Amino acid sequence: MLRLSKLTDYAIVILSFMAKEELQGHTAVEIASVTGIAVPTVSKILKLLVNAKILSSTRGAKGGYALARLSENITIAHVISALEGPIALTECSISQQGCEQASGCSIRGNWNLINQTIHNALASVTLADMVKPAPVPALAWKQEVLIPVASLYR
Amino acid sequence: MLRLSKLTDYAIVILSFMAKEELQGHTAVEIASVTGIAVPTVSKILKLLVNAKILSSTRGAKGGYALARLSENITIAHVISALEGPIALTECSISQQGCEQASGCSIRGNWNLINQTIHNALASVTLADMVKPAPVPALAWKQEVLIPVASLYR
DNA sequence: ATGATTGTGTACCATTATAGTACTATTTAA
DNA sequence: TTAAATAGTACTATAATGGTACACAATCAT
């Protein structure tokens, strides 16, 4: 489904929460309780975000995490690469020496274009955008069938 | 990594091959030998593409597969959804009743925007585009480190 | 100083998804 | 009727993901 991993999904939820009080710090435990995600999992995610310089951390009592930059300067593309590595749809797009597929692959250049386009799309949305009130739902939404979340996340 | 599954990757290689002689039919065995992908795997992929109306098939002796439409009318978005289901980065983007995440999720509308953008990017590239000679590689490419393919696909 | 609090790093396990395979049924041309 | 081809179903092994546990390091309050 071309989908993000759960961890990335969580990361964005966590960051959205933190973006609401930009300057304030939060502990892993606090974030876990607010978001409903298990503490060890939250820690794991926060650590990755710190490594990617998206969050800053202070250790020890009274420590915690805070955004390292303003939410306008944090893009979704950045968050995704922090959690999942470089954004690329195919293996052979990451390195270029890629595909030795006999005849099929004079395609690399074109894949590269697609990857670039997608990267741009993701880089054009910032955390600040995510926190803004959602635009009015399109008409189509209203006709959709409702499904309980439990069934989605198995 | 936001990556496509191998099967989808294969599918695009297969379709690219078929797009070179638009009108001609090919058997699963033939396609397998040209692309180097195992026959059962090829069959599986072809079947999915037939279900998605991207290919047409004729059974029996002298049967085989052919593009159901001109390659200009087959988009990458179409191929991806055939193999992986609806294109959406998060679970809650598929249905809308989605996320009951306590506080984090007034975000759906915004995710929807991202998904739409990405879908547009993928829908703007056709099979015909993929078969065209690749544009001149960007400068950056030349500086990349080469990695043997084997190490990529484990 | 000492202990409580909080992040860091590493390693591990269970579950799930993916890729691949095998087998049988169905269709059609010669 | 037989051979060639697709269609469908079910199964299995491998890899990736998500989640957990535990020992360590840093900092603050007392």
B73: amino acid identity, one letter: N
| Structure-token pair, residue A9 | 């999904």
3-state secondary structure chain B: CCCCCHHHHHHHHHHHHHHHCCCCCECHHHHHHHHCCCHHHHHHHHHHHHHCCCEEEECCCCCEEEECCCHHHCEHHHHHHHHHCCCCCCHHHCCCCCCCCCCCCCCHHHHHHHHHHHHHHHHCCEHHHHHCCCCCCCHHHHCCCCCCHHHHCC
Q: Which of residues 47-66 of B touch A (CB under 8 A)?
A: none
**Is any atom of nucleic acid chain D found less than 7 Å from the CB of residue A5?**
yes
pLDDT at residue B123, rounded to an integer: 87
CA pseudo-torsion sign B124, B129, B130, B134: negative
| Structure-token pair, residue A119 | 């990267």
Chain D footprint bases within 7 A of protein beta carbons: 3-9, 15-22, 25-29
Residues of B in contact with A100 (CB under 8 A): 149
Q: Which of residues 66-105 of B touch A (CB under 8 A)?
A: 76, 80, 84-92, 94-105
Asked if A50 and A58 count as a contact pair (C-beta separation under 8 A), the reply is no
Query: Phi and psi at residue B67, in whole multiples of 5°?
Result: -60, 135
* Domains located in chain B, CATH noted: 6-85+124-142 (1.10.10.10)
| Structure-token pair, residue B21 | 């002689």
Per-residue tens of pLDDT for chain B, all 154 residues = 567 788 998 999 899 999 988 888 999 999 999 988 999 999 999 999 999 999 999 999 999 999 999 999 999 999 999 998 776 666 554 444 444 444 445 555 567 767 777 888 788 888 888 887 655 444 333 222 222 222 222 2
CA of B61 to C1' of C21 (A): 24
3-state secondary structure A110-154: HHHHHHHHHHHHHHCCEHHHHHCCCCCCCHHHHCCCCCCHHHHCC
Task: Kindly report each contact of residues A31-35 with a partner whose C-beta sits within 8 Å and lies 24 or more positions away, as own/partner.
Answer: A31/A65, A34/B102, A34/B103, A34/B104, A35/A10, A35/B101, A35/B102, A35/B103, A35/B104
d(CA B101, CA B124): 34
Alpha helix positions (H), chain A: 6-20, 28-35, 39-51, 76-84, 108-123, 127-131, 139-142, 149-152
| Count of pairs with CB atoms under 8 A, one residue in A, one in B | 184
The pLDDT confidence band at residue A85, using thresholds 50, 70 and 90, is confident
pLDDT at residue A142, rounded to an integer: 29
> Looking at A10-24, A70-84, A106-120, B37-51, which range is the least confident one?
A106-120
Classify A152 in phi/psi space as left (phi over 0), alpha (psi -120 to 50) or beta: alpha
Asked if B3 and A89 count as a contact pair (C-beta separation under 8 A), the reply is yes
pLDDT tens figures, A100-120: 444 445 555 567 767 777 888
pLDDT at residue B82, rounded to an integer: 92
d(CA A4, CA B110): 15
Asked if B117 and B125 count as a contact pair (C-beta separation under 8 A), the reply is no
d(CA A108, CA A98): 8
pLDDT at residue A135, rounded to an integer: 53
Asked if A100 and B153 count as a contact pair (C-beta separation under 8 A), the reply is no
Query: Phi and psi at residue A41, in whole multiples of 5°?
Result: -65, -45
CA of B75 to C1' of C17 (A): 26
